Every structure is written in structure tokens, then in C-alpha cells.
Chains A and B, each alone.
Chain A
Amino acid sequence: MTTQLKDEAPLGRIVVITSGKGGVGKTTSAAAISAGLAQQGYKTVVIDFDVGLRNLDMIMGCERRVVFDFINVIQGDARLKQALIKDKRLDTLFILPTSQTRDKDALTQEGVETVLNELKEEFDYIICDSPAGIERGAQLAMYFADEAVVVTNPEVSSVRDSDRVLGLLSSKTQRAEKGDGEPVKARILLTRHDQSRIDKGEMMTVDDVLEILAVPLLGIIPESQAVLRASNVGTPVILDEPSSAQTAYKDAVSRLLGEEIEMRIESERKPGLFQRLFGRSA
């Protein structure tokens, strides 16, 4: 997974962006990571699994171009090519929006598998933006994943929910059920990191979070005005104006691609033991 030649078969790697808890930044991160991968030349598609609460297309700024959606494809009402929306900024980036009028029961395991298999034929990275919770929608989003990015805020309830999701990733996924080969490779993306609040003792430190979750860290995204601004104008953070959040997402994307990049946090703190351990393997 080092260099990507144009003539090679697509990687067809499925990455789920999940968290358990809502509002921690899954969709923002899914948009940023998929844009980042596309920017690096990988053909990427991002799928919205949050049926009934369609948000991804807004954050990607393509909500006015949605005709057919993921559910239409699953139910055979539209072909995949008709539902895929090509991003206007990056020609390697595609969006598969979801339905706003249906609910998560419209998702079937066979349907999802068929669509994902078709996408694997063509794309290097398939990013699944999971809904919050641990119910059907979230479980289907993670079921076929090769890798998982668990989005976590440095805060107790988010960490506990992420822990629950990590448990599901190691038991309720296709890789886990097969039992042979590699398990789902899960990493933590710590979002809304606010050093000043950590110093005041209002938030958990990175070390605390990693000690509880015991999986490698993919990146630390600082709390930033740029994130909200980017969402409101419908541009993934990574394609918006330079900001600390943008740099952090770019680093995270590079780590996702297997590069070793030092964990940069806006902090004078020395990296703790866990950080050093996991930062290296990330």
C-alpha cells in the first residue's frame, strides 16, 4: 500500500467512520478524510449510512445534486452510476448520498454487500459514514469494513461509547465472524481537542482516552472555528482555507495511508507513554 499506479487494480479498501455517540464529528471527519484521500490521488467514494438523517451531502456541498440515493440502489430502483455524485472540486472523489425519507430498516445486509462489492471494483477507498448508535444502521456500516476510524471526543460518555463500538468491531463484523485473517484495524480519531479545557481539568487528556481505549491513535483534531465554518459552506475542512484542523486531518489521512507522521498537538506536554507507543504504530 505504498504507491498507487494508475494501471493497478483498485485497492477496494472499506473504511468505516464510527463512534457510537452522536455529534462527535463523524460526518465532518468522513468528509475530510475522503477528500484528503482523493486529494492524494486515490479514487474515493464516501457513503452516507445515516438513512433518514441525510447530512453528508450537505457537508460535501452537493445536496442540490441528489437525484437517486443509496436506498434506491439497494432496492434496485436506480443503478449505482446514477446515484454516485462526482465532487466538483476533486475528480477522484464521489459521494453516495442516502435517503431522507426512509429509515434504517431499508438497509439490508445483502443490499449493502452488493453495493460495496460493486464499488470495490472501481474505488481505492470506500468510506462509510456510520450513523450514531449501535443499532442496525451502525452495524451494517461497520460489518464489511477493513478498517475503522473511531471518532471520539475527550469526554467520558464519548469514550465509553467508543469502547462499546470497538467491542462491536471485534465481534460483529465480517472479519470478526470469519475469524481468520486480520481483524478490523481500528484507530482513534480524537476530535474537538481543546488544550485549554484539558488544562482546566474539564476534558480528558489524550493519554487518559488512549489508556481506556487501548487502540492506536490516528490523529488529534483541535477544536476549531474552521470546522463549523466549513460545514456551513459545504466544504470538507481539508479543502477549505488553511487551519489547524485542516493540518490535523491531513496528517490523519497520511497515517491512514500508512505513513509515519509524528503526532502534533498544540501542546507543550510531553507525549505520554501510550502516545509514544501508539503514535509509532499508527
Chain B
Amino acid sequence: MTAIALRIESDQFDDAFFEAIDEQITKAPQLLLDAPLVLDFSKVPEFADSAALADLVAKLRTRNMLVFGVQNTTDPQLEAADGLGLIPVRIGRDGPAPEAKPARKSKVDRLLPPDNKVITKPVRSGQLVVAERGDLTVIGPVSSGAELVAAGNIHVYGPLRGRAMAGCHGDEGGRIFCRALHAELLAVAGLYRTSESIEDELRGKAVQIFLKDERLCVEALG
């Protein structure tokens, strides 16, 4: 349940105070009318006048604000609130703490410098090479059963017989380049093609693979 906290800043509940509240209600009726409300005493630790408190609660309730609790109270304040039907609310401890958002982490990742990878040995069947941030360049063959994954582009100076996935974090501008296309699977930003759907005339050719209008295009180079 979401409740609104009304933080009391003075122990004088004069007309100006209620005028300010009425103004808030006119500004945001959906938020405040019929809203569950908690009184926050953190700014007024000395205030413990039960009559004034009862008056405040009554006046708030006439404005259709459903005061039901108090928070950040001292013991005398709790006593003053006693009998007004207000429950002490502890803040922020009942529900599980919200988890750190992964979105923030990826933002940090993006701020890190790119980390391009260059592999000068053959990438063999069963091997997985990932360039988490940046381009992946392989100088040598990539065997069938091997996987290349990069956040950016993938370059293969040799035959590409395995799988290549560029733009793995969703970069639609990622491209794959290879000297000789025999790939099992090609993907850019999650859109993929298997070797079955690659035109025969492009097989074995030097090609680039890129996204155009949400379509994965394979184009001969040179």
C-alpha cells in the first residue's frame, strides 16, 4: 500500500496551514483526496499536545484525507496520538529493499571505455569468444561449432564457419565482416539468419552483414 506522509513543521495549525493544504488538494485532488495519510513528526520532536493533534486529525479528516498513522514519533508523541485511532508506522523496513536496477549497471557499462578484442589464433569448435564492450576481430579461421559474440562489429579475416552475433546488446548498427562466408548462423542485434537461408551465390564470398529496415542483409564486398 502506498500512503502519503504529511510532514509537520510547526506546532501551530492556523488558518494559513489549512489554506496551504486546501491549495495542495485543489492542485492534486487525485493524489490527496481519499488518500491514506501518515503524519510525520520528524521535524517537531517537541510537539506532544494531544488536544492540538486531535484537532488537526479531525480537520484533515473533514477534508477527506484518511489519516491513519504516525511515523518518526517520540514516546510522548505516541502517547498524545493514543486514542485517536492512529497506528505507529515504521518506514521502509517492511517490504524488501528494492533491488538495484540492472539498467543503472548497463549505463555504467556504456560509460566504460570500449574494450575491443583481437584474436590471432584460430577459433575452434566449442570455443566462445565474447567482446562485451566493443568490436571483435579474429585473424584466422572460425570453425563450425565456434561462437563469436560482440557488442559492436565482428571482423573475421579468414573463413567464418561458426556463429557470429554482432550488436549483442542491441546495437542495430553492428555489422559482421568476413573473408569467406560459411557461417552456421549470423545475427545482428538479435535478428538472425541460419546458413540455410543464406543465398548460395554468397557462400564462400567476402561479405558484410548488417541490418537495414529491420532486415538482416548479406552483401558481397568489393
Contact = CB atoms under 8 A, between A and B. Distances in A.
Interface in B138-178: 140-141, 143-146, 159, 161
B121 interface: yes
Given A212-B141, A212-B143, A214-B140, A163 B121 contact: no
A161 B146 CA distance: 12
- Number of contact residues on A: which range applies? 10 to 19
A170 B145 CA distance: 16
Contacts of A164: 124-126, 145
B122 interface: yes
Contact of B145 (A163, A168, A171): A163
Contacts, number: 37
Contacts of B146: 167
Interface string A192-236: 000000000000000000011010000000000000000000000
Interface string A163-191: 11011101100000000000000000000
B122 A214 contact: yes
Given A167-B126, A167-B127, A160 B121 contact: no
A214 B126 contact: no
Given A160-B145, A212-B161, A167 B140 contact: no
Q: Give the dominant DSSP class at A's interface.
A: helix
B209 to A, nearest CB: 22
Nearest to A169: B124
Q: What 3 A-B pairs have minimum CB-CB distances, sorted nearest first? A: A167-B124, A163-B125, A164-B125
26 contacts: A160-B125, A160-B143, A160-B144, A160-B145, A161-B125, A163-B124, A163-B125, A163-B143, A163-B144, A163-B145, A164-B125, A166-B124, A167-B125, A167-B126, A167-B143, A167-B146, A168-B126, A170-B124, A171-B127, A211-B141, A211-B159, A212-B141, A212-B143, A212-B161, A214-B122, A214-B141
Given A167-B126, A167-B143, 20 more contacts: A160-B125, A160-B143, A160-B144, A160-B145, A161-B125, A163-B124, A163-B145, A164-B125, A164-B126, A164-B145, A167-B123, A168-B126, A170-B121, A170-B124, A171-B127, A211-B159, A212-B144, A212-B161, A214-B140, A214-B141
